[in-house]
Amino acid sequence: LKQEWDQLLNEPSVTKDGKHVELAANIGTPKDLVGVKDNGGEGIGLYRTEFLYMDSAELPTEDDQYEAYRKVLEGMEGKPVVVRTMDIGGDKELPYLELPKEMNPFLGYRAIRVSLDQDSIFRTQLRALLRASVHGALRIMFPMIATLQEFREAKAILEEEKALLIKKGVEVSDSIQVGIMIEIPAAAVLADQFAKEVDFFSIGTNDLIQYTMAADRMNEQVSYLYQPYNPSILRLVKMVIDAAHSEGKWAGMCGEMAGDQIAVPLLIGLGLDEFSMSATSILKTRSLLKKLDSAEMKELSHKAVTECTTVDEVIELVNKYVKD
């Protein structure tokens, strides 16, 4: 097995019939790059920048952030790096930022909602990102987008900061992609409209499942409802991927589901372009891909989405199509 994995390290991520996808990694700090290299990651699909804020006694400065982003971009040597702007709130608190006590923190003041409300914090982060953009292939991603209005507002602030930097003579990349996480059902439902304005989608299934099933992702008592293979989730994922492709954009996934061995065959069938997961799942997934035929997986996912009524039926179907 060790030998097989060593070999897989330098192989491309392709299905049995030669369909390419990108296997990327989720990271929380520049230190995680070692693991990404050791596991053959082809990019960073999610850099959770909130750790920069959580590991600090006060708001990280623009320079602190610039250093962290530059390290990651340089470390990846031109491979794509999706940096998510801070996702604070929900279960993640900041001691130095007064966040309100809420009845339903996961439905409350969180992520882009905080960024748009306290835009000086947001602008600082965007300037750091824009300055770092010349050191690699930066993609900026906004978390917890529910409406097009929010996306337009965030994008406008980004454009404003970019123009200000350029006016000051600071060099900024002109090929930064700007996308959103799809983790709120409202955004999945309107994916066709979002697809006209964003450069990419990354589906955050950890939250998308929680919000679609109305089941707190941390609550053991309702964990039976936390169902990645529920046909409703598969249909939403399909809508998002189809919407992206209709506009010539790419769709990735950065929730846990992207590295799940039952989900991967379905996601290949649905046409997902990029799979971002914990680095330790990459080789296992690359190995699985080699056993999958993309036309067969397309048939599988079509049946799962149109015929299956329960999770158990979906699992049974996947096991019928994917045999060892």
Helix H segments across 222-293?
231-246, 263-270, 282-289
Answer whether 181's CB lies under 8 Å from 144's CB: yes
Q: Which is nearer to ligand PEP, 87 or 161 (CB)?
A: 87
Q: Which residues, other chains included, contact 187 with Cβ-Cβ below 8 Å and sequence gap of 6+?
A: 145, 146, 147, 180, 194
Provide, rounded to whole angstroms, the least separation between the CB of residue 13 and ligand PEP.
Answer: 20
Q: N- to C-terminal Cα distance for the chain? A: 15
* Residue 48's binding partner out of ligand PEP, Mg ion, none, with CB under 5 to 8 Å set by partner kind: ligand PEP
Q: Which is nearer to ligand PEP, 185 or 255 (CB)?
A: 255
Provide, rounded to whole angstroms, the least separation between the CB of residue 3 and ligand PEP.
Answer: 32
Give the C-alpha separation, 191 to 216, whole Å. Answer: 24
Give the count of beta carbons closer than 10 Å to the beta carbon of residue 315.
14
Query: Interface with ligand PEP includes 32 (CB under 6 A)?
Result: no
Provide, rounded to whole angstroms, the least separation between the CB of residue 238 and Mg ion.
Answer: 20
Q: Which is nearer to ligand PEP, 23 or 172 (CB)?
A: 23
Closest of 61, 217, 214, 88 to residue 143, by C-alpha: 88
Provide, rounded to whole angstroms, the least separation between the CB of residue 183 and ligand PEP.
Answer: 5
Query: Interface with Mg ion includes 50 (CB under 5 A)?
Result: no
In the region spanning residues 153 to 182, those forming contacts with ligand PEP, defined by CB under 6 A, are none
Whole-Å CA distances, 208 to 49, 100, 183, 215: 20, 23, 4, 10
The residue from 136, 179, 185, 204 that contacts Mg ion (CB under 5 A) is 204
Query: Interface with ligand PEP includes 204 (CB under 6 A)?
Result: yes
Q: Spell out, one character per residue from 182 to 201, where the chain touches ligand PEP: x when CB under 6 A holds, - when not.
A: -x------------------
- Residue number of the CB closest to Mg ion reads 207
Query: Interface with ligand PEP includes 205 (CB under 6 A)?
Result: yes
Beta-strand (E) ranges in 29-156? 44-48, 80-84, 137-142
Half-sphere CA count of 247, side-chain side, radius 13 A: 19
Provide, rounded to whole angstroms, the least separation between the CB of residue 50 and ligand PEP.
Answer: 8
Looking at this protein, which amino acid is placed at residue 98? E
Interacting residues toward ligand PEP by CB under 6 A: 46, 48, 87, 183, 204-207, 254-255
Interacting residues toward Mg ion by CB under 5 A: 183, 204, 207
